Amino acid sequence: AQSVTQPDIHITVSEGASLELRCNYSYGATPYLFWYVQSPGQGLQLLLKYFSGDTLVQGIKGFEAEFKRSQSSFNLRKPSVHWSDAAEYFCAVATDSWGKFQFGAGTQVVVTP
Amino acid sequence: EPEVTQTPSHQVTQMGQEVILRCVPISNHLYFYWYRQILGQKVEFLVSFYNNEISEKSEIFDDQFSVERPDGSNFTLKIRSTKLEDSAMYFCASSNNSPLHFGNGTRLTVT
């Protein structure tokens, strides 16, 4: 069965420091991979996606993610976080259709001054 | 940028009552979805809808749930007789063979 794992439930990072959020998936074929962000009281906003091609993808708000097939990972990174990056981040995998996403449990990011 | 809009933002209902959650997808999108997120749990797929019919549904989407696109713009989720465990954030999403665009959600509280 397909699964998406975000090992870190909660991460605290200082403003200006780098951030890396981990995502591992279990899926038989090459999946479609996504990162979404959810700010308090808001919906899910797409940060970036990977379908094929270059394994390093750039997204909005200065985020990037790297697909590593050998590690079944799609980790999200940002070189220097801003206080506005405090939110919950979800990794998602599209399985057998565009819309049936499987989400990870999410990682809550707290940014300290 | 076009948005998916959901109303209401918060709905409180008594157990056993019917609720209808409303969504206006992005106007040129053809695929519509409902997801839900129980507090502290993962976002879960409920149902997808295309060409005026359900294309896929999860085991959560039992006979108490139904979806409808009553006109050219709205997409609704009806829960016929709510249970306490239906309390969750419900997200509508739409796409046009592209990543999903989500609304801000409706928080449903069943008392």
- The tens digit of pLDDT for each residue in B36-86 reads 999 888 899 999 999 999 999 999 999 999 999 988 789 999 999 999 999
B62 strand-pairing partners: none
**What DSSP character marks residue A30?**
P
Average pLDDT over every residue of B84-99: 91
The pLDDT value given to residue B70: 87
Chain centroid offset of residue A48 CA: 8
C-beta atoms of A100 and B91 within 8 A: no
Q: What is the pLDDT of residues A28-38, one digit of tens each?
A: 777 889 999 99
The pLDDT value given to residue A31: 84
C-beta atoms of B42 and A46 within 8 A: no
For A74-100, b where at least 16 C-beta lie within 10 A, e where not — what string?
bbbebeebeeebbbbbbbbbbbeebbb
CB A66 within 8 A of CB A74: yes
Average pLDDT over every residue of B78-100: 92
What percentage of residues in chain B have a pLDDT greater than 90?
Answer: 80
Residue of A nearest to B32 (CA): A99
- Assess A40–B contact: CB distance below 8 Å, yes or no: no
- Collect all residues of chain A within an 8 Å Cβ-Cβ radius of residue B103: 43
- Collect all residues of chain B within an 8 Å Cβ-Cβ radius of residue A106: 42-43
Residue of B nearest to A47 (CA): B99
- Collect all residues of chain A within an 8 Å Cβ-Cβ radius of residue B1: none
The pLDDT value given to residue A97: 55
Going residue by residue through chain A, which has 113 residues, state the pLDDT in tens, using 9 for 90 and above.
Answer: 678 999 999 999 999 999 999 999 988 777 889 999 998 877 889 999 998 888 999 999 999 999 999 999 999 999 999 999 999 999 999 875 566 888 999 999 999 99
**Which carries the bigger pLDDT value, residue B26 or residue B40?**
B26
Q: Which two tokens stand for residue A107?
A: 């990682």
Torsion B54-B64-A43-A21 (CA) sign: negative
The pLDDT value given to residue A30: 75
The pLDDT value given to residue A96: 58
Q: Which residues contact residue A4 at a Cβ distance below 8 angstroms, ignoring those fewer than 6 apart?
A: A23, A24, A25, A26, A91, A92, A93, A102, A103, A104
The pLDDT value given to residue A52: 83
Residue B51 Cα, gap to closest chain A Cα (Å)? 14
